[in-house]
Structure 1
């Protein structure tokens, strides 16, 4: 089978052969013990220094189709980093005031006249998380209109007053995605393609739809004596909080592009990274043994993913799983232990 993708360069010796062997052993052991399936890509500057895939992307009546370096995953909440990039582009271009209130763009939201765009970015709105509403799983696998999504969020009592504290809520970034569309008149799908993928040369990244195995996309699985396929969330419900599909390689390109000026200025980047109660605005601090880093996690259905960037080393790491039992945080910590010796 031939795959039409951009070539993935893999050169350099920044990660030793011994480290590569340790990484391969680790991921192979996870798969052999039914603890995880997925793909990892590690890059320094613009050069891939390691990539590895274990498990399969989907099953057929005649067998299992293995995952590979071009496999594309639903990256869940890493989509919030994409949405934040779009919001800050609009801010830099003078099209959006981050102190503007939510009610200017989406009327009828509780406290909407006091929730600022920056509160949504920092998870300080107080809006209840739509994914923590009754029967959300069954509700989310059936297509809904944008107004139906808005109505479900509006029906929830706020968890706290705006800007009192920070509590992670998918509702914040769903609204940010809607706001980006209303400011520009373009769909989030178009915005991600034109403003992020084209500028960052992300050829295997896009706003997702129904899972398309013919486009190298994979299904997700949970382990129940064997890997069992999961139901799939409708991406128009996940929207700005979770609708992106990408390969791990593209995620390394994306996170490096954020930090190297492909999307906006250094001044705007520093604003985006501003922390409140440990939250950045779409990209959060992720340090390791005194090394400052930044990134985001993702989880959707049976998918789990993380992307991290360490500016001092110009190191990008992206891991995407479509079936996971072993905790993803422990996986990424082990990866960093091997890389940094």
Structure 2
């Protein structure tokens, strides 16, 4: 599960907007081939137009250890996109008069702070104030171990409240874990059964279900980080995220789900509009996603090293889904390239330069650097033949040599250009440049 970057996911606004008559699939193929050939991305994408799948592509491995190649039916954890499914289940329960959006949750969670003032709608829209347990410093010490409902409610209760209900908004995975339990208590069925009976079975989503321990024999992908090769990431136990981040799916299934949701096949029109109504950047299980002047709706997710995004636009009736089980690249760039191909906007094929360096070549760059432009210090170290950058107290990250004195970190689009004679380095990102001087 991740904190979502969706408020500015595709922040492009210009005057012209044209839907391509035909999507440039050849260029997309070249784009993904470049990523695959350079170990930048493993994952799968699907695009539909007017309800018909018009493009799919899968690259990389489902299981690196077995050299098991992924295919169109390989299944990935989708993280917080699960919240969109959970929101639909809650609103279906409201339509069937099993729940009400304005009802408070004290009968479900009497020990929770402000439970007598927190409503189901506030949980859906991240306006409850309930603290997000994934923000706790010790979260990653226990997230791989199974937890019961009693244990999870105790964790969430201990976290307390970050603000008074409905006074502001803050993304919290705890909200949707609680909504999962509300569904189970209301229907006296496991969440997995409700997901199947109310969404996946009626829509024929055969590759979508609540996950469990990853089983590559069932064409389920593991997730990986890139550190001198793809390294397996520990698995979050699905008993923890549940309807907040525990669903497994494929891009093709996500596109079908998206088309059904926005085509009025899952909810009444007024409840779909509620999902799309954004307040303080949050809808009910959806986010607004701008691309040029087009507005689409969707969600982004992440769990372990899986990342995912889906979006739907009424402009051309376009649905897009992208899921990754490993990335050594800036993940925001890939959806932008896909949308650019769909909407006839220019995008560049990525070019990855390599430059051989020896460990002793890196010594001239080592040290601490400061800038008068921004209050962040960068410490440069090395690990054998890899240069390492650490901004302030943030985690260190490895740099790739691209030319003499030039290095990149592709995941965030950062470039560093050193001048050893002057003891300076220029940091470039997002069209901006900052000069740092060695202390």
| Structure 2 gap ranges (5+) | 1-19, 345-439
Give distance in 1, aligned partners of 2:296 and 2:137: 36
Paired position in structure 2 for 1:8:
none
- Name the counterpart of 2:81: 78
Distance 2:273 2:178 in 1: 23
CA distance in 2, matches of 1:327, 1:189: 33
Task: Give secondary structure in 2 for the equivalent of 1:104.
Answer: coil
The corresponding residue for 1:236 is 239
Quote the Cα distance in structure 1 between the aligned partners of 2:162 and 2:329: 31
2:34 equivalent in structure 1: 29
What is the Cα deviation at residue 193 of structure 1? 0.4
How far apart, CA to CA, are the structure 1 residues paired with 2:49 and 2:243?
28
Q: Distance in 2 between matches of 1:31 and 1:133?
A: 35
The C-alpha deviation readout for 1:255-308, integer Å capped at 9, x for no partner, is 111111221211221122221112110011112111120000000001000001
Residue 42 of structure 1, aligned match among 44, 47, 52: 47
Q: Distance in 2 between matches of 1:144 and 1:108?
A: 18
Q: TM-score, normalised by structure 1?
A: 0.93
- 1:162-173 equivalences in 2 (<5 Å): 162-173=165-176
CA contact (8 A) 1:255 1:309 kept: yes
Unaligned runs of 5+ in 1: 1-12
* 1:84-233 → structure 2 map (5 Å cutoff): 84-233=87-236
Deviations 1:91-124 (A, max 9, x none): 1111111111121222210111111111111101
TM-score with structure 2 setting the length: 0.72
> Secondary structure of the equivalent of 2:239?
helix
Q: CA deviation at 1:14?
A: 5.2
Count residues in correspondence: 325
Partners of 2:22 and 2:69 lie apart in 1 by 25
Residue 236 of structure 1: SS of its match in structure 2?
coil
Q: 1:277 aligns to what?
A: 280
Q: For residues 145-173 of structure 1, what are the alpha-carbon distances to aligned partners after superposition, in whole Å with 9 as ceiling and x for unaligned?
A: 11111111110131111111111110011
C-alpha contact 1:39 1:69 (8 A) present in aligned 2 = yes
Partner Cα distance (1:260, 1:80) in 2: 19
The 8 Å contact of residues 88 and 272 in structure 1, kept in 2 or not, is answered as no
Quick check: 1:300 aligned with 2:303? yes
CA shift digits 1:196-222 (9 cap, x unpaired): 001211111001111011211000000
Query: Are the counterparts in 1 of residues 225 and 232 from structure 2 also a CA contact under 8 Å?
Result: yes
- d(CA) in 2 for partners of 1:108 and 1:30? 49
Please say which structure displays the higher CA radius of gyration. 2
CA-atom RMSD in angstroms: 1.3
- Distance in 1, Cα, partners of 2:93 & 2:160: 30
Supply the distance in 2 between the matched residues of 1:262 and 1:208 (Cα, whole angstroms): 24
Contact 1:121 1:281 in 2 (8 A): yes
SS at match of 1:128: coil
CA contact (8 A) 2:64 2:230 kept: no
- The residue aligned with 1:15 is 22
Q: Which structure has greater helix proportion?
A: 1
Kept in 2, the 8 Å contact 1:75–1:299? The answer is yes
How far residue 88 of structure 1 moved from its aligned partner, in angstroms, is 0.4
Of structures 1 and 2, the one scoring higher in RCO (CA 8 A, sep 6+) is 1
Q: Residue 15 of structure 1 contacts residue 49 of structure 1 at CA under 8 Å; is this kept in 2?
A: no
Q: Is the 8 A contact 2:43 2:58 kept in 1?
A: yes
Deviates more, 1:257-266 or 1:69-78: 257-266
Q: In structure 2, what is the Cα distance between the partners aligned to 1:287 and 1:196?
A: 27
Query: Structure 1: which 4+ aligned runs deviate by more than 6 Å?
Result: none
Please give the secondary structure, in 2, of the residue aligned with 1:103. coil
